[in-house]
Chains A and B, each alone.
Chain A
Amino acid sequence: MALKMVKGSIDRMFDKNLQDLVRGIRNHKEDEAKYISQCIDEIKQELKQDNIAVKANAVCKLTYLQMLGYDISWAAFNIIEVMSASKFTFKRIGYLAASQCFHEGTDVIMLTTNQIRKDLSSPSQYDTGVALTGLSCFVTPDLARDLANDIMTLMSHTKPYIRKKAVLIMYKVFLKYPESLRPAFPRLKEKLEDPDPGVQSAAVNVICELARRNPKNYLSLAPLFFKLMTSSTNNWVLIKIIKLFGALTPLEPRLGKKLIEPLTNLIHSTSAMSLLYECVNTVIAVLISLSSGMPNHSASIQLCVQKLRILIEDSDQNLKYLGLLAMSKILRTHPRSVQAHKDLVLQCLDDKDESIRLRALDLLRGMVSKKNLVEIVKKLMSHVDKAEGTTYRDELLTKIIDICSQCNYQHITNFQWYISVLVELTRLEGTRHGHLIAAQMLDVAIRVKAIRKFAVSQMSALLDSAHLVASSTQRNGICEVLYAAAWICGEFSEHLQEPRQTLEAMLRPKVTTLPGHIQAVYVQNVVKLYASILQQKEQAAEPEAAQDVTQLMVDRLPQFVQSADLEVQERASCILQLVKHIQKLQAKDVPVAEEVSALFAGELNPVAPKAQKKVPVPEGLDLDAWINEPPSDSESEDEKPKGIFHDEEQRHAKQRLPEADEEELARRREARKQEQANNPFYIKSSPSPQKRYQDMPGVEHIPVVQIDLSVPLKVPGMPMSDQYVKLEEERRHRQRLEKGRKKKKTKEKGKPRRHGSLHTESDEDITPAQQVDIVTEEMPENALPSDEDDKDPNDPYRALDIDLDRPLADSEKLPVQKHRNVDTSKCADKEDVPVVEKKVKKPKKKEKQHREKEREKTAKGKEKEGEDLDFWLSTTPLPAAAPALVRAWGAASNAIIAAPKEEGEGPRRGEQGDKEDSTQDPEKKSSKHKKKKHKKEKEEKSKDKKKSKKKLPSDEAAEPVENGALDEEPLPPMSSYCLLAENSYIRMTYDIQGSLQKDSQVTVSVVLENQSRSFLKNMELNVLDSLNTKLARPEGSSVHDGVPVPFQLPPGISSEAQFVFTIQSIVMAQKLKGTLSFIAKNDEGSTHEKLDFKLHFSCTSYLVTTPCYSDAFAKLLESGDLSMSSIKVDGISMSFQNLLAKICFHHHFSVVERVDSCASMYSRSIQGHHVCLLMKKGEKSVSVDGKCSDSTLLSNLLEELKATLAKC
């Protein structure tokens, strides 16, 4: 044996090792490939030997060859052999090779499962480590499923070295086997607080990766991460957490508010640039998420922009780059604060570093306004001339177009200038973006009617110039522009000054060198041009000239007929025949122009790119249903007797004949016309072709103002956009002078007013050079507002979108692979089997029960967690660290006490102010509520009777009292409706009702009362959903959509709308912010208005009045499942009966029993919590004892009771 070993190692001496291989390759520079193939042959020999050392050496060499690009998958089995070697040295070589070349398609990979499991449980930590590392690279769904449990146990290994690797690899396991996420998650969460910083960092890493893809499932971890953030000193961990918060804040704006302060502190204190940068980034994310709700964060924005400016001005190019990157994020929501740094950005455009220039370009996009667009584009154009590399030049080109065309050409005041810029851009050589310029030309020419004349003149110049045709070699090159030019000249040929000249230019022999699709457009548009020339000449009564043109066509068209491109060939031959026919007619002196131009009558309207997709599927149309029954396979068609077809045809014919009388046909035609008129996709024809040039039928309603061009139309040769800069300045100057003389008349024709106050005043002052009507793109009438077209159904991270707060079910336990005990027992004794099974079953049952209980426990725990988050978030911003929590609480309670005093005092620090706002709020509200009640009481009294249906539960509440013969004195009028919000237009009151049928829904009834003299319409209610409470929106709408109110309000009228909310946890009261937007219309015009409100869901609103018999009530109290709490309120003067009625009415209770001044009451929450009250009246005080299946709910309810009683 020993001899064999020595022999083996002596053999080995003469094998090449890795170093020899590398050396050999370096010495065979000329015939490397040959040498390597030799080596591979040697390796194959070595792999055939028994000695594992030789094999390992061979595999090691293969790994090197793999890096050089050689496929080594043929050695996969040998690699597995080496992986299973007992020595660490070889094992490591094997796993390295596997990690480099194994993938999901490697078929032998399934053989590794047991080997890996063995290594994972190896006593040597390095064996385990090497297996984990290797597995992380080639884990497959099967491996992940089989090994998930083993890896999970490793997460609590004694050695941190193993723990951190096991934690990290779990991410890969989750990706491949999403079912493992839920069972493994609790342990992963534990690892966030591991004593070893490496393990902690790994856990943070994994959760951050997970949360980045599906952030909403990880919101509940926010408090934990917050704690880590304020306590950790590891910058890696901090960066990851801060990045994670950046992903979470858009989902929960309250989180953002909480984060701002600690982040700002970090920004001020840290010296690590990477950390500073990530903090700034997350603050930006927070600000973006808050931008709708909280206006007052200008300080934070300023801080960010300031810090970024420092980064950008730094000499380190990396920081400069990142600064610009972050700046562009701010730009999206706070363009103003970035615009102040325009100088800096323009400076960066001159930077020698291309990455930085590109970033600066990005920023520029958001900085343009009407005022500076021309100037900025001028600067960019000068860069285009200077730019050396084509990539950067192309980027510049796309940016110029992007900047100009953004927001529907919002910033362009002079489209002549823009067309000139585009034409100038065509002189770029070697660009790949010819099609982009072409698309812009087409878009502008089609959508801006006023510019067509100018565009056509420019395009004909382009067609005339030779340089474009010459550059036709490159695909997607600049010659694409000719596509647009030809089309525009053809389609709008009536604007051409010299149609004949353009026609000749388009028929030049050189044109045949252009790409096929451009030639095709040429051919088609040549005819349009020809038609318009014919028209002209015939009107001018010049038949010779007309025949001349026809001759030209007949002469030149054959060059296209010979084209290799099918499309060109087909079109050309059709048209050639047509023209020849025309020639014959012309020879007979027949006027043809009208008929020829009828070929191209009608106008093309721009259609929105998504229009087709957005056509709603009409009701009752099932696109997947078979139109005809699918032919069944068994039935061959030959068997069918032919007679059937024959018969059917005849029957159809007979049925149809009598129907088709003249009148019916006419009616149908009319209907079809009507339909076509409403169909955006149907290209309407003008009633008569002659009229086409005078007035177009479909266009009358669009006010096309005759343009009074201040620039001469004929620009000889190539225009220079620069001259427009001067002209534009002059024009503006003139305008300013004019304005000084006389008051500006406000004139808004056809141009929609742009909402939003983004433009500076001076910006608005700049009136466009031409009155421009940008014809909007057409959309189907009731287009679906769906923008979720972009979601990729194959996203691997989608599978990980798993609710982690739901308790674990049995079926979700990770599969635990055991040795094949089952098999052996089966083989051993067949008679024993049933007995064994029975035995096994019994404990299972118990186990199940046990588990169920556990599950309940965890469920409760989870619920609590959910609350915790809400609670944690609602305690308003915390100063820096966790210990400060206590301090904050102290401050909050102080604030409550101090609140009344401080009313009317000057503004205090923002943070404190926030705190007070939230604590004061209920008080304010309740006092308002009280005032309003008096007003409402009277009307409610009359309404109450009518409204019995809507307010069923509250009426019920009154009933038991009355049934109990308690009406000794008249009850005061009561209303459960309280004020929601009010302004000069509208007043909203609301009431919340739950129902026992739907355990997580409540209905909010809102009474809207029009208080103005305007007509209110298009009312839409929207709320900002919280985690716990969500507005039920119609199917298909997103969380940000409002719910329309189904009625309109004439002046003085009120009406009620109902909205359904879904609620998860009901044990705490909640508040939702919301807005009602509407259009108020009166004689002077209509305005868009909105009204903000806060919906307060008290715990009471989750109670549903439920009658209860006294014996059931007693049983409930005896059961001992309920927790207990009590309150006492002094200074009550109201009679006990009124008191009871009030509580029954407002808090949805029913009286079970009443004895003198003592009553027991019962109610039930929508989620089935029992609430029992015992109310006793003393002389001037009332004490209430409550019992409830949820202690939090009870204490909250009692608080609310107390507030009600205190007012009595």
Chain B
Amino acid sequence: MIKAILIFNNHGKPRLSKFYQPYSEDTQQQIIRETFHLVSKRDENVCNFLEGGLLIGGSDNKLIYRHYATLYFVFCVDSSESELGILDLIQVFVETLDKCFENVCELDLIFHVDKVHNILAEMVMGGMVLETNMNEIVTQIDAQNKLEKSEAGLAGAPARAVSAVKSMNLPEIPRNINIGDISIKVPNLPSFK
């Protein structure tokens, strides 16, 4: 079982938090802080597994994380998950984000956290891995987006126009924080699908 999925940036700002066990908001923030504290002080070239997040579950649990450019993707899992498998899942997740947002960067996650949630929901459900095939995930996401667009129809047009105008007025949004090494494959896992 996956107990929680967290995304935060290099400064510990949460970009997505998904808990598959109920925690109060305060505890959730505490867990994010603690996890950030544990993960951020590790060097780049050490292993991606961490034992002993104290708040989330007991000794059975592990933190498995990856660091992409400015973001940390952290999965907290118990012993029924394969460590290397989860590492791969994170890779699939990031690649899917990359496809859905077309060259994903931290800002995409900041402004469209709801979309990230929707993508995640197609991969992991209630703490269990639902789908690992990227093409399948992207197909489902596209179909849902299409459905959304068709529903918006005429009524949605003015709102879209307004938001387009709003965005135009804000030239300060940089779109250059690309996740540099996004295309790097998981080492040593060539045949994993």
A948 sits at the interface (CB 8 A): no
Of A13, A71, A352, the residue contacting B43 (CB under 8 A) is A352
B187 at interface, CB cutoff 8 A: yes
Check A929 for interface membership: any CB of B closer than 8 A.
no
Say whether B159 contacts A9, CB under 8 Å.
Answer: yes
B152 within 8 A of A: yes
Q: Across the interface, do B80 and A212 meet the contact criterion of CB distance under 8 Å?
A: yes
Interface segment among A163-171, A528-536, A680-688, A744-752: the answer is: A163-171
Q: In whole Å, how far is A240's beta carbon from the nearest beta carbon of chain B?
A: 8
Q: Smallest distance from the beta carbon of A555 to chain B beta carbons, Å?
A: 48
Evaluate whether A133 and B121 lie within 8 angstroms (CB atoms) in the complex, with A19-B111, A67-B14, A319-B188 already known. yes
A69 near B25: Cβ-Cβ < 8 Å: yes
Q: Does B26 lie within 8 Å of A69, measured CB to CB? A: yes
Interface range, A side: 35 or more
Shortest CB distance A356–B (Å): 6
A206 touches B159 (CB 8 A): no
Interface set, chain B 32-50, CB cutoff 8 A to A: 42-43, 45-50
- Note all chain B residues with C-beta closer than 8 A to A225: none
Residue of A nearest to B149 (CB): A89
> What separation, in Å, do the CA atoms of A319 and B47 have in the docked complex?
8
Q: Is the CB of B1 within 8 A of A10?
A: no
Contact A168 B88, CB 8 Å, known A92-B118, A96-B117, A272-B192: no
Interface string of B72-112 (1 = CB under 8 A from A): 00000000101111011000000000000000000000111
Which chain B residue lies CB-closest to A57? B159
Contact with B along A1101-1145 (1 / 0, CB 8 A): 000000000000000000000000000000000000000000000
The answer on a CB contact under 8 Å between B132 and A13 is no
Total contacts A-B at CB 8 Å: 182
Complex CA distance for A773 and B114, rounded to whole angstroms: 68
Contacts of A331 in B (CB 8 A): none
Nearest CB in chain B to that of A25: its residue = B110
Q: Is the interface of A mostly helix, strand, loop or mixed?
A: helix
Interface core residue of A132, A171, A236, A321 (most chain B CB under 10 Å): A236
A1189 beta carbon closer than 8 Å to chain B: no
0/1 string, B168-193, CB within 8 A of A gives 1: 00100000000000000001111111
A17 at the interface (CB under 8 A from B): yes
User: Beta-carbon contacts of B2-40 to A below 8 Å, as 1s and 0s?
Assistant: 000000000000101110101011101100000000000
What residues of B have a CB within 8 angstroms of the CB of A103 in the complex?
A: 22
The answer to whether A19 touches B46, judged by C-beta atoms less than 8 angstroms apart, is no
Known interface pairs A208-B80, A278-B82; A165-B47 also in contact (CB < 8 Å): no
A residues within 8 A CB of B22? 103-104
Look across to chain A and name the residue whose beta carbon is closest to the beta carbon of B17. Answer: A67
Instruction: Given A132-B125, A355-B51, check contact A202 B130 (CB 8 Å).
Output: yes
Nearest chain B CB to A1121's CB is how many angstroms away? 47
5 shortest interchain CB distances as A-B pairs: A136-B126, A274-B84, A103-B22, A317-B47, A353-B46
Is B128's CB under 8 angstroms from A209's CB? Answer: yes
Cβ–Cβ contact A171 & B193, under 8 A: no
Contacts A60-B114, A68-B14, A236-B132 hold; do A274 and B125 have CB atoms under 8 A apart? no
Does B70 sit within 8 A of A, measured CB to CB? no
Per-residue interface assignment for chain A, residues 199 to 237, with 1 indicating a CB less than 8 Å from any chain B CB and 0 otherwise: 001100110110010000000000000000000001110
B158 & A9 in contact (Cβ 8 Å cutoff): yes
Asked if A161 and B47 sit within 8 Å, CB to CB, the answer is no
Decide if B80 touches A168 in the complex (CB within 8 Å): no
Which chain A residue lies CB-closest to B16? A67
CA distance in complex: A212, B126 (Å): 17
Check if B162 sits within 8 Å of A13, measured CB to CB: yes
Interface flag for A126 (CB, 8 Å): yes
When C-beta atoms are compared, the residue in chain A nearest to B20 turns out to be A137
> Is B144 touching A126 in the complex (CB atoms < 8 A)?
yes
- Picked from B49, B80, B130, the residue with its CB within 8 Å of the CB of A165 is B130
Quick one: which of A264-291 are within 8 Å of B by CB? Answer: 270-275, 277-278
Find out whether the CB atom of A271 lies under 8 angstroms from the CB atom of B187. no
Listed by A's residue number, 9 A-B pairs whose Cβ atoms lie within 8 Å are: A9-B159, A12-B159, A17-B163, A19-B166, A20-B166, A63-B113, A68-B14, A104-B22, A355-B46
Q: Which of B125, B132, B156 has a CB less than 8 Å from the CB of A168?
A: B125
**Contact digits for B139-167, partner A, Cβ 8 Å, 1 yes 0 no:** 01001100110011001101100110011
* Residue pair A354, B163 in contact (C-beta under 8 Å): no
Contact residues in B for A209 (Cβ distance below 8 Å): 1, 80, 128
Task: Give B41's nearest chain A residue, CB to CB.
Answer: A389
Is A271 a contact partner of B191 (Cβ separation < 8 A)?
yes
A1170 on interface, CB distance cutoff 8 Å: no
Q: In the complex, what distance in Å separates the CA atom of A171 from the CA atom of B191?
A: 29
The reply to whether B125 and A322 form a contact with Cβ atoms under 8 Å apart is: no
Tell me if B191 and A355 are in contact (CB < 8 A): no
Whether B125 lies near A316 (C-beta < 8 A) is no
Contacts of A87 in B (CB 8 A): 151
- With A13-B158, A243-B82 known as contacts, the answer to whether A355 contacts B47 (CB < 8 A) is yes
B47/A353 in contact, CB under 8 A: yes
Map CB proximity to B onto A311-355 as digits: 1 under 8 Å, 0 otherwise: 000101111111000000000000000000000000000001111
Residue of A nearest to B13 (CB): A68
In whole angstroms, what is the CA distance A9 to B159 when docked? 7
